[in-house]
Amino acid sequence: MVPGAAVLRACVLLVVVALALVAGLGCGRRATQADCQLIVDRSVELQLRDTAESDPKVIADRVAAVRAALDGEIKSCERDRRVTEKTMSCVRSATTTQELDKCLR
C-alpha cells in the first residue's frame, strides 16, 4: 500500500491534470463550482479505488484534503473552464480513472 502522503500527492497531480484537460474544451458553458468540485471528487475517489481503498471515511477525508490543496485550481476552473452537460454526465458515471480521463478529453 502506498503511504498516505504519496497517495495525496498522486491524487493532487491527477486532479490538476483533469482540470487542465477541461481547460481545453472550447464549447459548452462556463464551469460552476459544483462542476469543478465534482471533477476533483470523482478524480480522488476513482484514484483511491484504483488502490483498492473503499472505506467511505478514508475517501471523504482524502477528498477534503485534495479540495483544500487545490482551492486555487478549483477557483481557476470556475473562472476559466467550459464544460458540456455530456462531459459532466460522463464524469458522474465514470467508474475508473481511465474512463474519467476519456470524459475530460
In tens, the pLDDT along 47-98 reads 888 888 889 999 889 889 988 898 888 888 888 888 999 999 999 999 999 9
Cell 473503499 belongs to which residue? 54
Domain coverage including residue 72: 31-103
26 domain-assigned: no
CA gyration radius, the chain: 13
64 domain-assigned: yes
Average pLDDT of the chain? Answer: 82
Query: What's the whole-model pTM score?
Result: 0.71
Cell 475530460 belongs to which residue? 104
23 domain-assigned: no
4 domain-assigned: no
Cα–Cα distances (Å) from 57 to 37, 63, 64, 96, in that order, read 18, 10, 11, 19
* Residues sharing a CB contact under 8 Å with residue 18, sequence separation 6 or more, in sequence order: 39, 40, 43, 100, 101, 104
Please tell me the total count of domains within the chain.
1
CB atoms within 10 A of CB 62: 21
21 domain-assigned: no
- Residue among 49, 43, 45, 38 nearest 83 (CA): 38
